[in-house]
Structure 1
Amino acid sequence: MQALDALLNRVSVPRLLDPAPTAEQREVLFGAAMRAPDHGHLQPWRFLTVEGEAREQLGEILAQAALLQDAEAPQAVVDKARNGPLRAPLVVVVVARLQDHLKYPKSEQLLAAGCAAHGILLAAYAQGIGAVWRTGELAYSAHVAKGLGLGEGEQVIAFLYLGTPQKEPRVAEKVDLTQFVSAWSAQG
């Protein structure tokens, strides 16, 4: 697949089945992530792979976080949190590792980690792997961070769900670029 095809046509694929990406495919996914723009070469990211029974354990952490957030949360909310990681055979947790640095602010590091996540999505599309970025408010829970073993300066920025598309991915809609691009000229 041509790079421009992936850049112009990638879409989210929310309905995913087994099998998960192979070891060879994962090497490409994470290799693409490592090519993210990274001012200062800090590599302010890391990835956790969650599959098999570990998805159920992650679901329990998310369900507990939902109850810590709202002790009277409806059972449907708790069940949705618990079952979320079961939506795909592989969940990649993208963790931003933000560092104090004189030259490269944490905001740039966070953006670089987001680009790494996007690299995984593009590489998935290019390989015919279904993928969708789902995060949600529980990703930012201190309980979830602790359950995942995150250290100081680390935060979850994405749950990437990957697997085999249940059906043919939709066609990317064409966007009117004039709504987003304009020439700037100095005033004054």
Structure 2
Amino acid sequence: MASSPAATPAATHDMLRTRRSVPPIQLDGPGPSAEELDGWLAIAARVPDHGKLAPWRFLVIEGEARHRLGAIIADTHAKDFPDADEKRLDQERRRLAHAPLVVAIVSRAGPHIKIPEWEQVLSAGAVCMNFVVAANAAGYATAWLTEWFAYDRRVLDALGLEPSERIAGFIHVGRAREVPSDRPRPDLAQIVTRL
């Protein structure tokens, strides 16, 4: 069976070599179809997972949910900063509304008799990256972010997270209006040690 050009190692390497985050404010629709999204979620879940714990889960945030959760984020910010002006509150309100789709990866890492919690956390990070790569390979742009509200218990409660759960990332997905210029990347000579 012949593979498609997008599936060739050279095309995959080129995509990974040039992959670039795009700020959510520069992402537009249309977003992915339900079928595309389900495919990416399946790809994201195919990560190293010592013990087959699936120590992560997904929250799909699209449509009106982006605005409803944005209102919660803005209200939470206003409680902490009562002097915040309307411009700032509008920025908070729109945190999840720029891209047509946001997927939150929730880490369910916790104590286990055999599987270190650290390995479970790393697995959640791998889920985030698999999801980003799947979306990018399909021609969409992404931004993997957390922001302050990923660490605010009031917002996490509104998202339905259990007390032991944490946000590994909010992945914003859309079509890039423009791709920012690349940022400096690490010099391999500074980060590689050969033993």
Alignment TM-score, normalising by the size of structure 1 = 0.87
Q: Is structure 2 residue 43 aligned with structure 1 residue 35?
A: no
Q: Is structure 2 residue 118 aligned with structure 1 residue 103?
A: no
Deviation at 1:7, TM superposition (A): 2.9
Q: Which residue of 1 aligns with 2:14?
A: 5
Deviation at 1:78, TM superposition (A): 2.4
Q: How does 1:76-91 map to 2 (within 5 A)?
A: 76-91=87-102
Q: Which residue of 1 aligns with 2:156?
A: 145
Distance (whole Å) between structure 1 residues aligned to residue 66 and residue 78 of structure 2: 19
Distance (whole Å) between structure 1 residues aligned to residue 64 and residue 171 of structure 2: 17
Assess if the C-alpha contact under 8 Å between 1:62 and 1:144 holds in 2: yes
Q: Is structure 2 residue 36 aligned with structure 1 residue 25?
A: yes
Q: Which residue of 2 aligns with 1:51?
A: 62
The SS at the match of 1:122 is helix
Residue of structure 2 aligned with 1:64, choices 63, 75, 92: 75
Q: Which residue of 2 aligns with 1:135?
A: 146
Residue type of the partner of 2:91? K
Query: Structure 2 unaligned runs (5+)?
Result: 1-5
Distance (whole Å) between structure 1 residues aligned to residue 113 and residue 75 of structure 2: 38
Deviation at 1:73, TM superposition (A): 3.6
The SS at the match of 1:164 is strand
The SS at the match of 1:138 is helix
Residue type of the partner of 2:170? F
Deviation at 1:171, TM superposition (A): 5.7
Distance (whole Å) between structure 1 residues aligned to residue 18 and residue 183 of structure 2: 5
Assess if the C-alpha contact under 8 Å between 1:9 and 1:172 holds in 2: no
The SS at the match of 1:85 is coil
What is the alpha-carbon root mean square deviation over aligned residues? 2.0
Distance (whole Å) between structure 1 residues aligned to residue 147 and residue 138 of structure 2: 26
Distance (whole Å) between structure 2 residues aligned to residue 29 and residue 171 of structure 1: 25
In the TM superposition, structure 1's runs of 4+ consecutive aligned residues that sit over 6 Å from their partners are none
Assess if the C-alpha contact under 8 Å between 1:33 and 1:120 holds in 2: yes
